[in-house]
Copies of this chain bind each other. A is one copy, B any other.
Amino acid sequence: MNVEFINPFLSATISVIKTMCFTDVKPGKPFLKKDQASCGDVSGIVGITGPPNGSMSLTFSKDSIVQIVANMFGESFQEVNDDIKDAVGELSNMISGTARNELGNKGYAFKTSIPTVVSGPGHEIRHMCKAPTIAIPFSTTAGAFVVEISFEG
């Protein structure tokens, strides 16, 4: 995968979560996944078409997303309800759109699909691409989450 694709997703995540959710986000070091699977309780998935085609996911634990969306709305949540799922869809849309625009400025013409949100304790996400998936870990005071991107070729 072209390493130029990583930073736009990293910086889009920091800026969207900070601006929309009033939550400071610290990125960890992006790494190539050996095991393709990633587990969480709520995920947002966005398809990307180019060429190259790809996909992006945003995967949260229940504890992290409940706190992040509480910061966003200024009210507290006990469980992963519809408001939280909608928020994950919206965050996925904004992060992928912001990254797409930055990649557009670098000359890469990507399009992004409407997001799909998956919920369910401990579900597993895998991007079905022969090339390795890149994981970008993030930490917040509310807990950790991960952004994954995968592109063919």
Contact = CB atoms under 8 A, between A and B. Distances in A.
Interface of A: 43-49, 53-55, 57, 85-86, 89-90, 92-93, 111-129, 150-152
Given A93-B128, A119-B124, A120-B124, A114 B55 contact: yes
Given A47-B49, A86-B128, A128-B93, A113 B113 contact: yes
Contact of A116 (B112, B117, B119, B125): B125
Contacts of A151: 114
Pairs A-B, 3 closest by C-beta atoms: A47-B47, A47-B113, A120-B123
Contact of A46 (B47, B118, B123, B152): B47
Contact of A85 (B47, B115, B126, B129): B126
